[in-house]
Amino acid sequence: MGRVLRYLAISIGVFLGIAIVAFLIVANFSAKDTAFRCEGKLTIASEEKPATLFMTLSEYRWWVGLWSHSDGMVSIQAPQFGVPYIPYLGLEDNGEFFHIFDYVGSTRFEGFRGQFYKLSRYLGLDTKSAGVFDGQCIPIER
């Protein structure tokens, strides 16, 4: 009886150890983050003005698709045009570019907001409150 309990305790310990390691891998390696500085123009009511914004693009790994509809997430910092932070925009990977949507939850998007082209790193984004941004993005170090 003592041997059975000992093997059971060891089995439970091994299982918990594997579960903890798997959780740490998923938690720490589920997204590839890239920061960008985007230079371009902001168009409001047909008036254009130069603008700079900062974007963090998080591309989710394949396993995140098991519990999320999104292929990634975008957050924007644009303090110069009255939008200090636009959080949580969802991404849909379409091969050569990402569609950017308002992120409502893990299973659906609402409201198309723009596109980010992977090769040219061009961003077109409707900020809703401050106008439409069009510009080129350059990766930066954080």
**Tens digits of per-residue pLDDT, 81-132?**
666 667 667 888 888 999 888 866 555 566 788 999 999 999 999 887 778 9
Q: What rounded mean pLDDT belongs to the chain?
A: 82
Count of domains forming the chain:
1
Query: Within a domain: residue 96?
Result: yes
The phi and psi torsions of 119 (rounded to 5 degrees) equal -75, -50
Query: Within a domain: residue 130?
Result: yes
Query: Within a domain: residue 2?
Result: no
Considering only CA atoms, which of 106, 36, 107, 46 is closest in space to residue 75?
36
Containing structural domain, residue 45: 31-140
Q: Are strands 47-60 and 31-44 parallel, antiparallel or unpaired?
A: antiparallel
Burial class (CB in 10 A: 0-12, 13-18, 19+), 139: exposed
| Cα distance between residue 22 and residue 43, in whole Å | 46
Query: Within a domain: residue 39?
Result: yes
